[in-house]
Homo-oligomer: A and B are copies of this chain.
């Protein structure tokens, strides 16, 4: 039983899922595939954008703060958002996913961005995160900037596009998609075959 976790380094709500999914999935016996992709590209092409200063955005931060409290996760509003125009942190995520260290990298990155207030993709803070994981920053960043990894990032984005993804985090079980950290439990139920809609 497995689940695809589509997320984005720089997505505000992805913080909650990055912090929660490993433990929940392990408890349910579900394998998670960590799949960073460019939700930014999909939102732009679908005209599904929102203003950084608006009632909806003000609410978003408050919602995440309350939900962090519910899940007993630390919260402070990241000072830099949007972040990482080059999407380097995401391409490093592609490298990490292919080499099997994406969960640790994602958690360290979101902690650094959210809680320490660094910018995602900034060379100094990205290097610190990579060193913390025992990696050589120069090697990983060179891979992340290679044509092969750029192509892999684009093809992951295309997988998400074809599934009908429009935001993150999105959890997919085959072609069944669940949008939002608040749908994580439903997605795990679906992966396990116990969601009520599967019995209708």
* A residues whose Cβ falls under 8 Å from a Cβ of B: 42, 46-48, 50-51, 54-56, 58-59, 62-63, 65-66, 69-70, 72, 164-167, 177-179, 182-183, 186, 195-197, 199-200
Q: Given the complex, which residues of B lie within 8 Å of A58, measured CB to CB? A: 164
Give the docked Cα–Cα distance between A182 and B63 (Å): 12
Given that A50-B48, A179-B63 are known contacts, is A55 also in contact with B164, CB under 8 Å in the complex? Answer: yes
Closest Cβ of chain B: how far from A189's Cβ, in Å?
9
Q: Given the complex, which residues of B lie within 8 Å of A62, measured CB to CB? A: 177
Closest partner residue, chain B, to A50 (CB atom): B48
Closest partner residue, chain B, to A58 (CB atom): B164
| Contact status B55-A165, CB under 8 Å | yes
Can you report 22 A-B residue pairs in the complex whose CB atoms are below 8 A from each other? A46-B51, A46-B54, A46-B55, A48-B50, A48-B54, A55-B164, A56-B166, A58-B164, A59-B166, A59-B177, A59-B179, A63-B179, A63-B183, A66-B195, A66-B197, A69-B196, A69-B197, A69-B200, A70-B196, A70-B197, A72-B196, A182-B182
Closest Cβ of chain B: how far from A151's Cβ, in Å?
23
Give the docked Cα–Cα distance between A64 and B164 (Å): 16
Give the docked Cα–Cα distance between A63 and B176 (Å): 10
Give the docked Cα–Cα distance between A48 and B47 (Å): 11
Give the docked Cα–Cα distance between A177 and B59 (Å): 8
Closest Cβ of chain B: how far from A184's Cβ, in Å?
12
| Contact status B66-A56, CB under 8 Å | no
Q: Given the complex, which residues of B lie within 8 Å of A46, measured CB to CB? A: 51, 54-56
